[in-house]
Structure 1
């Protein structure tokens, strides 16, 4: 019984260190205009929604570092410590954006890989998806069996699963989910691609006509596959 807290005390720092290393690697990928290796598939980005916010936060951190340098100029040791912490903070903020850009969602013929920066990486088999829809939500309350992966406090695509899958959080906590909400820059194209890859069961009852602005779903059309812009 006493081994549980000990394992947790070891697992959590290791998970945080691994996350920060991933952010640093993402900065290297971002500066060289590469994406994180994800195998074959089509990439769908999601970073555009919060890029300005993160760069604004990085700017505030730089201003704070300049102010701290002035206030602590007569205490070189404190100034050095504050400078290291400020540089590290700016790197982590930039790393969050870099990870979001270089780790897009990836759709393959068999699965949808959902990612959020360096702390979410969830593979959803297409055979488990029973419904997919474009749905804009800006409020997300934690609920049992549901997973929200918002970007800038919003999600634009909702997946319903016929078989629950396990999501493991950044700190290693497993959670069984049957409904997933996430954000994509081009949600209409992603929804169309998902429906082409794994069309829902046919409904014998007549359906209401699609709205005029709905994306076309002609199965003969080519599979939309636009890589994320770095």
Structure 2
């Protein structure tokens, strides 16, 4: 019960505190009692979080977990799975921007074949980012012209800027995290949101396909995983045994078929149908 109350308090107070900070930074004059009340509530919530975290930590330690494992379990107990996943996505996508600038890729070992999938969506993504930039500048100038208070204008500006950063980070994550075929495994990925690792000896067959009407970027229906780019897939991998796939927002599923998109499907097709030890021979 205490953990549930702590979760509810955290996710209720944090957005309100963020809005308050934005107003203060933007120069909005707030009554003193509003600021004092808000800060008092924040202190009480942090005290509640600390108490709940301490109780979880002690319980995990008594259960036999070492210090690091107990801290991890405490974090998982306080923060809901979906929230943790979203935070991980944001962190990985942000890091991807710097990797993209440095022209580095994640998880591509020497000798492996990397299959990009970002090219098909670049045009649309660039267009969306461009339109968002124009909308952000235009809307902000319009709000200033009409004398809209900073308490309203600044949060809207921050939200629009976040949308631009998210678009860039999403594209960078897709570029720096390609599909990978190595001697040991196939990795099917979609930016920071999906990473499926399949041992080569579980792959029964690989074939090209053409699908243009996929409704979701990542979906699992039955035992079929689909990772579509711009509503398209062009490769199908059948397995002779199921692999466990972690869903983007938590949970897992066993799949035996993977449908996904690659900019050059023949590159991955050749890599998967060639003996993984042919080059060594």
User: Normalization by structure 2: what TM-score?
Assistant: 0.66
Is 1:17 aligned to residue 95 of structure 2? no
- Per the alignment, residue 127 of structure 2 pairs with 56
Structure 2's unaligned 5+ residue stretches are 8-76
Counterpart residue number, 1:159: 237
Instruction: Pick from 45, 67, 84 the counterpart of residue 138 of structure 2.
Output: 67
Distance 2:264 2:228 in 1: 14
Q: How many Å apart are 1:77 and its aligned residue? A: 2.5
The equivalent residue for 2:264 is 186
Aligned to 1:125: 199
Residues 68 and 79 in structure 1, CA contact (< 8 A), matched pair in contact too: no
CA distance in 1 between counterparts of 2:194 and 2:132 reads 25
Q: Which residue of 2 aligns with 1:31?
A: 101
Counterpart-to-counterpart distance in 1, 2:154 and 2:231: 36
Q: What's the secondary structure of 1:115's corresponding residue? A: strand
Kindly indicate whether the alpha-carbon contact (under 8 Å) linking 1:127 and 1:198 is maintained by their aligned counterparts in 2. no
- Report if the CA contact (8 A) 2:113-2:268 is conserved: no
Cα offset for 1:46? 0.8
The C-alpha deviation readout for 1:142-199, integer Å capped at 9, x for no partner, is 6310000011110111000010001101211201100000111110121111111369
Tell me the alpha carbon deviations over residues 9-33 of structure 1, each in whole angstroms, 9 at most, x when there is no partner. 6221111011011111001111121
Q: Judging changes above 3 Å, is the alpha-carbon distance between structure 1 residues 134 and 186 closer, same or farther for their aligned structure 2 residues?
A: same
Which residue of structure 1 lines up, in the alignment, with residue 254 of structure 2?
176
Deviates more, 1:63-72 or 1:138-147: 138-147
Other structure's SS at 1:50 match:
helix
Determine the C-alpha separation between the residues in 2 that align with 1:136 and 1:8.
44
**Larger of the two Rg values belongs to structure:** 2
Q: Equivalents in 2 of 1:174, 1:197: separation in Å?
A: 30
Structure of greater relative contact order (alpha carbons < 8 Å, 6+ residues apart): 1
Q: Distance in 2 between matches of 1:112 and 1:159?
A: 10
C-alpha displacement of 1:52: 0.8
Paired position in structure 1 for 2:208 = 134
The two structures, once aligned, show a CA RMSD in angstroms of 2.5
* Length, aligned pairs only: 201
Please report the TM-score for the alignment, with normalisation by the length of structure 1: 0.80
